[in-house]
Amino acid sequence: MQHQQRIQHEFKKQAAGFAQSDLTLNRGEYINWILTSLQLRPDARVLDVAAGTGILSRAMAPYVHEVIAVDITEEMIQEGMRQNEQSGTTNISYRQADVASLPFDEGTFDVVVCRFAFHHFTDPVLVLGEMARVCKPSGQVAVVDMISSEEPQLYERYNHYERLRDPSHTFCPRPTELAGWFAEHGMQVSVAEHVRVDVNVAAWLTLTQTPSNVRSQIEQAIRNELAHGGPVTGMEPFQQDDVLMFKQHWTKMMAVKP
């Protein structure tokens, strides 16, 4: 199975789950954390790259003229359109397209943003270059994603468990790695903030409909780390009121296109 097909297969399963209001990705505090650093204004045209169901698109829509949401998975787009209709949002348009070759002219958008998708790309540097290409000079290019530890062993172990859970996962970049990709495209990062987010293990595995045998393997690895002090998974697991949890590290990196 080619990687694009793997992404479509995984997110076809997940599309309906993105409507859950208690999903960590939907939490208002983290949406606002992103919005506070975006250069949104009433006349702005915004591109949401690998937008999924448009969670961030709908959050940005009240503050801008237009949002174009691009995704490769038809089921995610259909779910996004359903949620737009339900919320009465009218200034978001969807386009099914490959984000490695965006179907827009150079310098089309004032803001180009990608939220929680870089860890699915086989060539994230190429995608960032496409984001920069379609952004206007002095416009903003923004990436929000999970990040990995700079420590090689923790980096490998954490990404191993993410790939077990969702085979369309490639790797969460290290912070220095992501900043370096911006530099490769002549952009200096002006915003670089990280947060640690509590994630419910059961809900995390349920969203991706991870097969029960794989689910058990991941849960057992986490429990072994908690009970015996290792092997370390790189997930920083803990228990909260007898609920199995772990920490994700999120970053927002943003730059102005020269």
Q: How many CB atoms lie within 10 A of CB 254?
A: 22
Please answer whether residues 148 and 172 qualify as being in contact, where contact means their C-beta atoms are separated by less than 8 angstroms: yes
Q: Which two tokens stand for residue 130?
A: 């496409």
Residue 19 has pLDDT above 70, yes or no: no
Residue 74 has pLDDT above 90, yes or no: yes
pLDDT score recorded for residue 21? 61
| pLDDT, average across residues 12-34 | 77
Per the document, the length of the chain is 258
* pLDDT 10s digits, 35-66: 999 999 999 999 999 999 999 999 999 999 99
CA atoms within 13 A on the CB side of 229: 0
Domain-wise residue ranges, the chain = 3-150+168-198+248-256
Residue 36 to residues 11, 110, 147, 254, Cα–Cα distance (Å) = 28, 16, 20, 12
* pLDDT 10s digits, 123-168: 999 999 999 999 999 999 999 999 999 999 999 999 999 999 999 9
pLDDT score recorded for residue 230? 73
In CATH, the number for domain 3-150+168-198+248-256 is: 3.40.50.150
Residue 119 has pLDDT above 80, yes or no: yes
